[in-house]
């Protein structure tokens, strides 16, 4: 598999063009990435073509041959079937709780290795936006106690030691004065 990117965020692939690697024909745009919550691995993607997404196709991660900055090349000739059992599209918006039951924030995505599909880090934000802790933080898969459609439970220690990977974008106000 020829991958140009070392680590990919789920959000970076959504709406990317999907092309057939043999014909260069556009198949659609990425709608969903499918994550196996037991193995912490991206197992496939679904894309659609058309205004209302009537031409929808799914591909296993083994069929993904190349990921560029704005497109994904897939093999349409491999006959692998994508199994959706145990796979979920998105954790985005799910609550993040400690293993002691404290709600600490919300899931905003994950980073993964494009070659293997293995999740490197889950990404979350703390609830309190006024807090000095505001920003995007990383949790390794080993810190996850439970991962389901309804929420994510992580160890208290891992949350306390979570590494910040992005600060929030704060809009700045600039004023241009014109002198006469």
| pLDDT tens readout for residues 108-139 | 999 999 999 999 999 999 876 555 567 899 99
Specify the pLDDT at position 173: 46
Residues of the chain with pLDDT under 70: 1-5, 53, 78-87, 89, 128-133, 167-180
- Rounded to two decimals, the pTM is 0.81
pLDDT on residue 129: 54
Position 179 scores a pLDDT of: 41
Residue 16 lies in a domain: yes
SS3 sequence, the chain? Answer: CEECCCCEEHHHHCCCEEEECCCCCEEEEEEEEEEECCCCEEEEEEEEECCCCCEEEEEEHHHEEEECCCEEEECCCCCCCCCCCCEECCCCCCEEEECCCCEEEEEEEEEECCCCCEEEEEEEEECCCCCCCCCEEEECHHHEEEECCCEEEECHHHHHCCEEEECCCCCCCCCCCCCC
Domain boundary among 72, 87, 102: 87
Q: Which domain holds residue 78?
A: 2-87
Does 32 fall in a domain? yes
Which of 63, 87, 111 is a domain's end point? 87
Residue 154 confidence (pLDDT): 94
Is 112 among the domain residues? Answer: yes
User: Is residue 180 in a domain?
Assistant: no
Which of 71, 87, 103 is where one domain is finished?
87
| Total number of domains in the chain | 2
As a whole number of Å, the CA-based R_g of the chain is: 19
């Amino acid at each position: 598999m020829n991958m140009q990117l070392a680590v990919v965020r789920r959000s970076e692939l959504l709406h990317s063009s999907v092309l057939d690697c043999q014909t260069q024909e556009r198949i659609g745009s990425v709608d969903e990435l499918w994550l196996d919550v037991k193995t912490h691995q991206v197992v496939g993607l679904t894309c659609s073509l058309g205004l209302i997404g009537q031409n929808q196709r799914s591909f296993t991660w083994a069929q993904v041959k190349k990921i560029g900055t704005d497109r994904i090349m897939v093999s349409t000739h491999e006959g692998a079937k994508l199994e959706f059992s145990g796979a979920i599209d998105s954790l985005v918006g799910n609550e993040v709780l400690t293993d002691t039951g404290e709600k600490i924030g919300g899931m905003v995505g994950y980073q993964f290795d494009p070659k293997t599909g293995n999740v490197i880090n889950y990404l979350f934000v703390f609830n309190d936006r006024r807090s000095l802790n505001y920003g995007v933080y990383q949790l390794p898969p080993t810190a996850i106690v439970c991962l389901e459609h309804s929420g994510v439970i992580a160890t208290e220690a891992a949350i306390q030691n979570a590494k910040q990977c992005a600060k929030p974008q704060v809009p700045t106000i600039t004023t241009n004065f014109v002198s006469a």
